Structure 1
C-alpha cells in the first residue's frame, strides 16, 4: 500500500491514513491534541504506517472484535476527564474510511468478546443476547496454557468435566456438566454453530479453533433433542484476506513437546479466493508413569468471496488422538484411606495399552446478503470417527466393586478391559444440514429482526465385538460355559506393587478377531423454527418470541445373545416430537447496559423404552427442561469487555421413576393388579443458581476472564430417597475461576512485558448417597497459576515468548468423579512449568 502523507499534526495524519487504507478508527480529540507526526511516504502496510505515526508518543492502538481501531494512551492517568476510557462518546471523533478491510490491518489477538449466533441464530453482540454466553478466545487459551479442551471448558465457572469409568480414558472422553446437568452427546456440541453428534464432537484440537463458546441453558428449538444444561460451540479458524504466517513451539517441565504452524492469506490478487492451513503435533507426558497423549491435527480451509454480497467457505479437519488410558490409582477410600501402598505415579497397565480416535470433519457454509434487509445462510457438515482401545485394569477395580487384595508377595491380578461382549472398536458417521433466512423490516414504528430456518441431522454408529468364547480368555470373568481355551489364560501377569515389571500384552492379537456383528444404530433429527426480535419505538426495549418444532427418531440394535448362532436381541425404536418455545424481554439502560428476562425449553427422549404406566401402555413422553433466567449485562472499555450477571432456575421434568417399588412383583404382568409394577413420569431435578462473569479487555493494560458460580442443584422427586434434597453428584456448589493478564512494562520499540495470574476454586462434591445416607466426598481445592509474556515487534511481524507455572503450590487434588466404595479416582495435575515461543510474520 502506497502512502504520501506530509509531516503535520497527528490528527490530520491519522485521518489521511484512515481514508487511504479504508480503516474504521475512533479516537478522543484530547488524546492527540498537540501531538505531531512525521511524514509517511512509500509502500508499507497500514499497521506499519500506524506504528510510524504513533512512534514517539505515549499512544498505541487496539482493535475491537468488530474490527474498529481505537487509540489509547499507554500509561499514566488521562490528561483530562475527556481522555480516559470512560470519556463522553460525544467527544469522540470517528475517522471514516470507505470500508473496514482486513487487508488493511490485521486484528490483534485479544480476549475481547465477539458477536455470536449460538443463542439466537442471529449474529449479535453478547450484550444484546438475552441468555448467558461465555467465550474463550485463542489468545486466552494460549496464555493460560490450557492442557486440553476440557480444561478450557472448566475455566468457565460452573462447568465441570468429570472422568467416566469408560475404558477409553478421560483424555479422550469426559462428561461435561453445565448448570448442574450433563450435556451428553445428543446434539449438545456444535462446530461453527452446526450440530455434531457422537464420539468426535467433544474433544477438539484447540490449535484449529478461533474460540470456544458456551451457551448456558436449553436451545432445543434450534438444535433438537438434548439435556437442558447448555450448548458448546467450537468456532474454527477461517481464511483471512491478508497474509499472515505463524509458527509456534512449546515444551514443559515433564518433557512434553509440540509445535504448530498457521498460514493464511489470499490466493488470487483480487482477494476473491482465500486459504487457511493449520498443522499441529504434540506429545503430552502425564504425571503418571507410562501415560501420554499424542494429538496430531491438520486443518485446511478455502473461502470464495466473489462479491461483498456472497461468500462460501469449505473446511476440512483431520484429528488423530492417541493416548494411554488413565489407570485407577486408588489413593482414597472412605474407610481405609488407600487400597495399596503405592506412589501416585504408579502404573497398572501394559506398555501397549492404547486409546486411539481418528476423526475426519468436513464443514461447508455459505452466506448470501442481497440487501441490507435480507440474509440467507446455508450450512452442512459431515463427520466420521473411528476409535479403538486396549486397557488393562485391576480385577474388580473400576467395575463397581472393591479391588482385589494383593497376595503376601504384593502381586495384584489384572485383566484386559475387553471382557465378555466388549466392543474394542467403534465407528460413527453423522451428517447435518441447515438453512436460515433472516431479515429486517419496520412497521408501525417497530423494528423486526426475523428468522426462519430448519435443519436435518442423521447419525449412525456401530461397534465391533470380540465373541464371548474368545473374550473369556482375557476378561475379568474367571469362568465360562463356552470358552475356546482356559478362561483367563491370556490375562496379563499379576503386577507386583513393590517391584513392577511391565511388558506388552501377549493376547493383543485377539483384537483382530473383533467383528462388526451388529448393524448400525441410526438416529435422525428434524428442526423447524421461526423467531422475531422486536425493537420498540423507544429504541431501548426489545422483545423476542420464538417457537421450534423438533422430531427425534432412533433405531437401536439388539446385541448378540448367542455368539455361536449369532442370534440378536430385538431392535428398539423411539420416535419423539416436541414444540419448544422461547421468550425474552430486554431493556437497555443507557448506551452500555441491558437488563433482561428469558425463558427456554429442551426435550430429551426417555432413557428406557420399556417403561409402562399403570394401564400397561409405554411411557414415551420425553423429559423436558425449562429455564427461567433474569440478568444484567454491561459493555466496558469500548465494548472490548463485558460484565454478565444471571439468576436462573433450571428444571428437568418428566424424569421416569418407579411408582410402587416396595409393593410390586415383577412376575405380575397384568395391568391393574395391585402387584403390577408400573412407572410415573413425575421425577424432578432442579438447579437454582447465580453466576457472574467479567471478561475481555478491561483496561489498556489489563485483560481478564473472571467468573463465579453458585449452584443449588438437587433431586426434588425420585424413588432414590437417600438422594432427595441432596446436591446432584459431582456438581460443586461454589466454583470460582479467575485469570488476569497485565501489561507491566512497555519499551519504546513497542516491546511489552506481561504478567498473568489466576486461581480456580472448586467446592467439594459427593458421588451419590447410599441408603444409609453415606457418600464419598471429594474435597474442595484451590489451584493457582502464573505466567510471563514477552513480545517484541519485528520487521513485518512479532516474536512472543510465554512461560507459565501451573498449580504453583503443588496442590493435591482429584478428579471430581468417584465410584462409591471402589476407590477409583484420577489424580489432578501436579505443578508444571510451560514454555512457548511464537513467531508471527
Structure 2
C-alpha cells in the first residue's frame, strides 16, 4: 500500500484551522505500510531533516517551465521536502524549471531563481518561502570607456604624456613617431624641484646637462651659457616649435612640458645640430579653472614665489585667460654674485568655433642679476697648498662695483589652429 499526498494551494477556501491563501506542499515517497525497512528509511529521512535541515542527497530533477505553484508540487514529490508558502506569494509567479543532478537546496534555489522569492529552513524540517529582501535582477552589464584626447602641448597626466607636437609638428601619439622622444611633464618638474631647464633634463637619456656646472640659473640658450650636450653636440632650444633665445625658455614656472628629440631633426625644424633639439611648451589657458600659488626657499638664501591663474572670461568658456608669474632672489657660493628675476606670462585663447582657435601669448622678464660666475682660481691655493694661504670658494676677485648685468626680455607669440577633421 503506497501513500502519496500532494497538498495543493487552497485558493479562496477558508477553514477554521487553515489561514486563507495558504499553500501546504507535502510530498513523500516511501512504502510506509508495506515493509518495515521502508518505514524505517522514511523515518530516518524525516529525522535528518528535523535535525539538519533538507537532506543533501544528489538527485535527478526534471521540472519544466510552468507556474511556480505546480512546480513546487513536483519538487516536493522528487525531493521529499515539505515546502510551505503563502498563496499570495505564488499567484501569477512562474519558474524556468530545474534540470540535472542536484542537491535539494541547489534545486530549490534554481527553481526560485528570478521569481523574487527566497526560502528559509525551519527547525522542524520544513522549508518556508518568503519574499526576497532585495529583489534585483541585473541585465547584461557592458563595460566600456571613452578615451579623452590629451593636449599635445599640455602638462600630461602625472609622468605620462601620450601625444606630442615634437618630431612631426603635428598632434601625433608618441608610439607612432619613429624618433626617440622624451617628455618631461609638469608633474615631473615639480617633483624634481627643477629650477631651470638644465636641472629638469638631468635624468634624460642621451643628454648631458650642466657641463660647466650649475651656475647658469638665468640662462635660456644652451650655446651661450649653462651648456646642454645632446648626443655629443651642443643643442638648440625651441619654444612651441620655433627656435628662440628668449629667457622664458629657461623658467620652469612658465613651462607646461619639456620635450627632447634625440637625433637629427632638421627636416622638420630647419638648421639644428645632429644631436637633436629641445622643445619647450609655454603655459596656455586651460579648459578648467586653475588657481595655484606657491612659495619656496633653498640654499644660498634662495626665496621664490609663483602664482598661476586660469579661468574663463565668457560664460560659455569660448574666451579664456591665463596669467603665470614668478619672482626669485638667490645668492651663490661666491660673494657679490646674485641671481634675481621677476617675470609674468599672460595669455588668452579664443575658441572661434569647435575647430578653430586663436591664442595670444606674451612674456616679460626682468633680471637685475644673472647669477653667472666666471671666476677662475689657480691650482695653488685651491687644490694644492700655497705659502700665501688657501683661497676660499666664496672669494670674489673682481670689482663688485662693475659686476652688474641687467637684462630685460620681452616675447610675443600667437597660435592659430584649425582642425580640418575631428581628432
Shared fold (TM-score greater than 0.5)? Answer: yes
What is the CA distance between 1:140 and its match in structure 2? 1.3
**Deviation by residue 1:575-617 (Cα, 9 ceiling, x = unmatched):** xxxxxxxxxxxxxxxxxxxxxxxxxxxxxxxxxxxxxxxxxxx
Displacement of 1:331 after TM fit?
Answer: 6.4
Q: Distance in 2 between matches of 1:159 and 1:171?
A: 20
Match of 2:191 in 1: 143
Q: Does 1:251 align with 2:303?
A: no
Q: Deviations over 1:375-399 (max 9, x none)?
A: xxxxxxxxxxxxxxxxxxxxxxxxx
- Structure 1 residue ranges (4+ consecutive) displaced by more than 6 angstroms after TM superposition: 99-102
Aligned to 1:174: 226
Partner of 1:317: 363
More helix by share: 2
> Aligned match of 2:395 in 325, 346, 349?
346
Distance 2:169 2:142 in 1: 32
1:282 aligns with 2:328: yes
**Contact 2:241-2:269 within 8 A present in 1 as well:** no
Distance 2:169 2:155 in 1: 24
Partner of 1:263: 309
Q: Secondary structure in 1 aligned to 2:144?
A: strand
Secondary structure of the 1:365 match is: strand
Map of 1:328 onto structure 2: 375
Contact 1:189 1:202 in 2 (8 A): no
Residue deviations 1:308-358 (CA, integer Å, cap 9, x gap): 11111111011223224314252657x974787212222223334123332
What is the aligned counterpart of 1:235 among 278, 281, 286? 281
Separation in 1, partners of 2:205, 2:307: 31
* Contact kept? 2:156, 2:185, Cα under 8 Å: no
Report what 2:419 is aligned to.
369
Residues 134-158 of structure 1: per-residue CA shift (max 9 Å, x gap): 1212221122112322222233233
What SS does structure 2 have at the residue aligned with 1:143? helix
Q: Tell whether the 8 Å contact from 1:136 to 1:152 is kept in structure 2 after alignment.
A: yes
Cα distance in 2, alignment partners of residues 101 and 117 from structure 1: 12
- Counterpart of 1:110 in structure 2 is 158
Go from structure 1 to structure 2 and tell me whether the alpha carbon gap of 1:92 and 1:154 turns closer, same or farther (over 3 Å shift): farther
- C-alpha deviation, 1:125, in angstroms: 2.0
Contact 2:211 2:228 in 1 (8 A): no
Cα gap change, 1:348 to 1:246, in 2 (>3 Å) = same
Cross-structure match for 2:408: 358
SS at match of 2:406: strand
CA contact (8 A) 1:331 1:344 kept: no
Superimposed CA distance per residue, residues 108-153 of structure 1 (whole angstroms, 9 cap, x where no aligned partner):
8622124112112222222221111112122211221123222222
Kindly tell me: are residues 124 and 264 of structure 1, through their superposed partners in 2, closer, same or farther at Cα, counting changes over 3 Å?
A: same
Structure 2 residue 254 is the aligned partner of structure 1 residue 208: yes
Partners of 1:161 and 1:176 within 8 A in 2: yes
Whether 2:203 is the aligned partner of 1:155: answer yes
- Normalising by structure 1, we get a TM-score of 0.30
CA 1:202–1:258: 2 relative to 1, 3 Å: closer
Task: State the distance in 2 between where 1:201 and 1:223 align.
Answer: 20
Structure 1 position 291, deviation (Å):
2.1
**Is the alpha carbon distance of 1:159 and 1:351 closer, same or farther for their aligned partners in structure 2, counting shifts above 3 Å?**
same
Deviation sequence 1:279-317 (CA, Å, 0-9, x none): 100112222222221121100111000221111111101
Q: Judging changes above 3 Å, is the alpha-carbon distance between structure 1 residues 108 and 179 closer, same or farther for their aligned structure 2 residues?
A: closer
Answer yes or no: is the 8 Å Cα contact 1:325–1:355 preserved in 2: no
Query: Matched residue pairs, number?
Result: 270
> Secondary structure at 1:307's aligned position in 2?
coil
Distance 1:365 1:284 in 2: 35
Q: Distance in 2 between matches of 1:156 and 1:265?
A: 33
How far apart are residue 178 of structure 1 and its match? Answer: 0.3
How far apart, in 2, do the equivalents of 1:337 and 1:257 lie?
36
Q: Does the CA contact (< 8 Å) of 1:164 and 1:170 recur in 2?
A: no
Counterpart in the other structure of 1:123: 171
Q: Indicate the SS of the match to 1:326.
A: coil
The change in CA–CA distance for 1:151 and 1:95 in structure 2 (over 3 A counts) is: closer
Q: Measure the CA separation in 2 of the matches of 1:242 and 1:96.
A: 19
CA deviation string 1:81-116 (max 9, x = no partner): xxxxxxxxxx9932459x8799xxx99862212411
Structure number with higher strand proportion? 1
Deviation at 1:169, TM superposition (A): 6.3
2-structure distance, mates of 1:101, 1:146: 24
For 1:369 and 1:332, locate their aligned partners in 2 and report how far apart those are by CA, in whole Å.
Answer: 62
CA contact (8 A) 2:356 2:416 kept: yes
CA distance in 1, matches of 2:257, 2:383: 45
* Whole-angstrom distance in 2 between the partners of 1:332 and 1:151: 28
Aligned to 2:89: none
1:263 to 1:179, Cα distance in 2 relative to 1, 3 A: same
The residue matched to 2:198 in structure 1 has which SS? helix
Residue of structure 1 equivalent to 2:126: none
**Secondary structure of residue in 2 paired with 1:227:** coil
Change (3 A) 1:328 1:118: same
CA contact (8 A) 2:309 2:324 kept: yes
**Cα deviation digits, residues 204-230 of structure 1 (max 9, x gap):** 211010011110111112222222111
Q: Secondary structure at the match of 2:250?
A: coil
- Tell me, yes or no, if the aligned pair for 2:248 and 2:365 is still in contact at 8 Å: no
CA deviations on 1:502-557 (whole Å, 9 max, x unpaired) are: xxxxxxxxxxxxxxxxxxxxxxxxxxxxxxxxxxxxxxxxxxxxxxxxxxxxxxxx
Contact kept in structure 1, 2:206 and 2:262, CA below 8 Å: no
